[in-house]
Amino acid sequence: MDIKYAINYIVQQQAKMQAFSHAANMLYFDSLTTAPKGGSEEFAQSMGVLSEAEYNLLVNNDMEHALDYLNEHLEDLDPLTAAQVKELTSQLNKSRRIPVEEYVAYEVLRNKAESAWHEAKYTNNYPLFGDYLARIIETCKRFSDYYAPGEDAYNVQLDGFQKGNTRQALDEYFSVFRRDILPLFKRISQAGDCIDNSFLFRTYPIDSQRRLSSYIMDVMTLDRKHCALAETEHPRTMIFHKNDVRITTHYYPNKLHASLYSTIHESGHAVYELNTGDALKGTVLARGISMGMGESQSRFFENIIGRSREFIDFLFPKLTELFPEQLHDVSAEKFYQAVNKVQASSIRMEADELTYSIHIMIRYELEKMLFDDALHTRDLPEAWNALYKEYLGIQVEDDSHGVLQDNHWSHGSFGSFPCYYLGNCYGAQFVENMKQDFDVTTAVREGNMRPLIKWLTERIYQYGKSIDAAQAIYNCTGTSFNPEYYNRYLIKKFGDLYGV
């Protein structure tokens, strides 16, 4: 073994891993977009073979030897290779610490749990899902102990979605959030229902909505040579590689804002991934840093930019061109107010910008209790409903519209929800610094996203996974994370809007 050989080996393995993940993502994307339903069994079989092949490229003796050798010579490696070695070692350690039969059993459990969740949601029957949830949590805790023996299991989950994320840090951030934002929400609720958004629910022809999405892609600089738009039940971004990213949306004839803002949101994910550096191509570093950093981009463009007065001023002429009848009695100002209307809702996916993070806080508190055995899955619906009453003042209609609304837990994705909150906070902190470097407001009013994307590319996107979240935040702000920016942003925006 020498350095050149070992580097060559890990480069080749990563290229193959990329090919298998490309293929698996493509099968998955097809299953969401065009696949006939009757092929689901063979789809699952092929996915299994591809994921096993990808696993075997990472978890094998040659890879272990190569990484052991390179870890012993880290100081001789260029920074990008060193970052690959670190990331591969981390992935390999995680994978090999779980006994294969337990991993397979967990995959089976997750599949069953997702089916049970689906049925429970559509029949409003939580008990169908409750036992599966308990077993998922138990497995997550057991796996946490394999990954990081003796560590707090919930912290291990959090770390999986963003390296270094901990409950200690989040407790502090959420206490800052709670301190300012719950009172702000209360003041707004007391101010009464003064914003009319009913025109958003008029009939908007799907064809014109499609043209709007295409226009949004242009504004977001999404080059059709590297990005395409499809339609799925739930909007999402699929990253095959930096030269091929697909975003999806869902058109509702009676909800103009749904596809408009989901297209901006997914475009935010897409610009990140499309602007990772060429040097990272084919390696494990050729992706965004973490879920939190990814959401910071999607939610930045969706909310901080997309729901700003400047952006609405820019967009409104296009909207009236596409929907002259539907918007004949609406002004840009009325549109701005409507898409920012604060309204407590039981459904996270329909939440406004202000209450969204409250939905997240509720989930975060419940996840901690579940992992601490302070809450039995049997009693989860009751606890869920109590927190919705306490924080948002609303009575959850039923479990389908309550604890069963999201599918994250059926996948075992505990610790992912807080990333949406972190993403919100990052965006608010970044934009303050961005404004010191150039005139963001004017660029947005002109619909010119290029300087924003350039600024973010220079500080975050180009590095892919070769830096961590803390480094990205430092690159953008010259300092470390501070949750106060987001509070200030919300207080200013919604205080002004509601005069509170």
Catalytic residues, by residue number, are 266
175, containing H or E segment: helix 167-191
Residue from 3, 8, 11, 30 that binds a second copy (CB under 8 A)?
30
CA atoms of 234 and 228, how far apart (whole Å): 16
Contact with a second copy (CB under 8 A) among 4, 37, 75, 150: 37
Q: Nearest-CA neighbor of 333 among 355, 313, 348? A: 313
Shorter beta-carbon distance to a second copy: residue 39 or 495: 39
Work out the burial of residue 32: count CB atoms within 10 Å of its CB; fewer than 13 is exposed, 13-18 middle, 19 or more buried: middle
Report, in Å, the least distance between residue 24 CB and a second copy: 7
How many residues interact with a second copy (rule CB under 8 A)?
41
Q: Which is nearer to a second copy, 19 or 134 (CB)?
A: 19
Stretch that binds a second copy, among 28-36, 97-105, 177-185, 387-395 (CB under 8 A): 28-36
Q: For residues 16 and 401, what is the distance between their CA atoms, to the nearest angstrom?
A: 42
Q: Which of 2, 4, 34, 480 binds a second copy (CB under 8 A)?
A: 34
d(CA 366, CA 347): 16
CB 370 within 8 A of CB 86: no
Least distance (Å) from a second copy to the CB of residue 34? 6
Task: Kindly indicate which of the ranges 227-235, 254-262, 471-479, 487-495 contains the residues binding a second copy, using the contact rule CB under 8 A.
Answer: 227-235
CB of 346 vs a second copy, minimal distance in Å: 34
Q: Quote the least distance from Cβ 280 to a second copy, whole Å.
A: 13
Segment near a second copy (CB under 8 A); pick from 3-11, 34-42, 100-108, 119-127? 34-42
Q: How far is CA 45 from the centre of its chain?
A: 28
- Could you tell me the sign of the dihedral formed by the alpha carbons of 218, 223, 228, 234, in that order? negative
Sheet strand arrangement including 244-249: 227-231, 244-249, 237-241
**Residues in region 45-74 near a second copy by CB under 8 A:** 45-46, 48-50, 53
- In whole angstroms, what is the distance from residue 83 CA to residue 77 CA? 9
Least distance CB 42 / a second copy (angstroms): 5
Among 225, 373, 436, 480, binds a second copy (CB under 8 A): 225
Beta carbon of residue 9, minimum distance to a second copy (angstroms, whole number): 15
Contacts of residue 458, Cβ cutoff 8 Å, sequence gap at least 6: none
Name the residue nearer to a second copy (CB basis): 41 or 72. Answer: 41
The counts of H helices and E strands in the chain are: 20, 3
* Closest CB 226 distance from a second copy, rounded Å: 4
Angle at 82 between CA 80 and CA 85, to 5 degrees: 115
At closest approach, how far in Å is the CB of 100 from a second copy? Answer: 16
According to CB under 8 A, which one of 244, 432, 468, 484 is a site residue for a second copy? 244
Please identify, using beta-carbon distances, which residue of 243 and 395 lies nearer to a second copy.
Answer: 243
Which 171-210 positions form the footprint of a second copy (CB under 8 A)? none
Q: Residues 247, 263: contact at Cβ < 8 Å?
A: yes
Choose, by CB under 8 A, the member of 6, 7, 20, 88 that binds a second copy.
Answer: 20
Residues 258-287 that bind a second copy (CB under 8 A): 281-282
Q: Single out the residue of 2, 4, 38, 373 in contact with a second copy (rule: CB under 8 A).
A: 38
Neighbours of 1 (CB within 10 A): 12
Listed residue (267, 268, 264, 262) closest to 249, CA to CA: 262
Of 31-39, 203-211, 455-463, 468-476: span binding a second copy (CB under 8 A): 31-39
Q: Check: CB of residue 177 under 8 Å from CB of residue 483.
A: yes
Q: Considering the rule CB under 8 A, would residue 75 count as an interface residue with a second copy?
A: no
Is there binding between residue 18 and a second copy (CB under 8 A)? yes
437: tokens are 């470097």
Token representation of residue 351: 């939440």
Asked if 230 is part of the footprint of a second copy (rule: CB under 8 A), the reply reads yes
Tell me the helix, strand and coil percentages in the chain, rounded to 5.
Answer: 70, 5, 25
Query: What DSSP assignment string belongs to 326-386?
Result: TTTT--HHHHHHHTT-----S-GGG--HHHHHHHHHHHHHHHHHHHTTSS-GGGHHHHHHH
**Taking the complex as a whole, how short is the minimal distance between the CB of residue 240 and a second copy, in angstroms?**
7
Give the residues lining the site for a second copy (CB under 8 A).
Answer: 15-16, 18-20, 22-24, 26-27, 29-30, 34-39, 41-43, 45-46, 48-50, 53, 223-228, 230, 240-241, 243-244, 246, 281-282
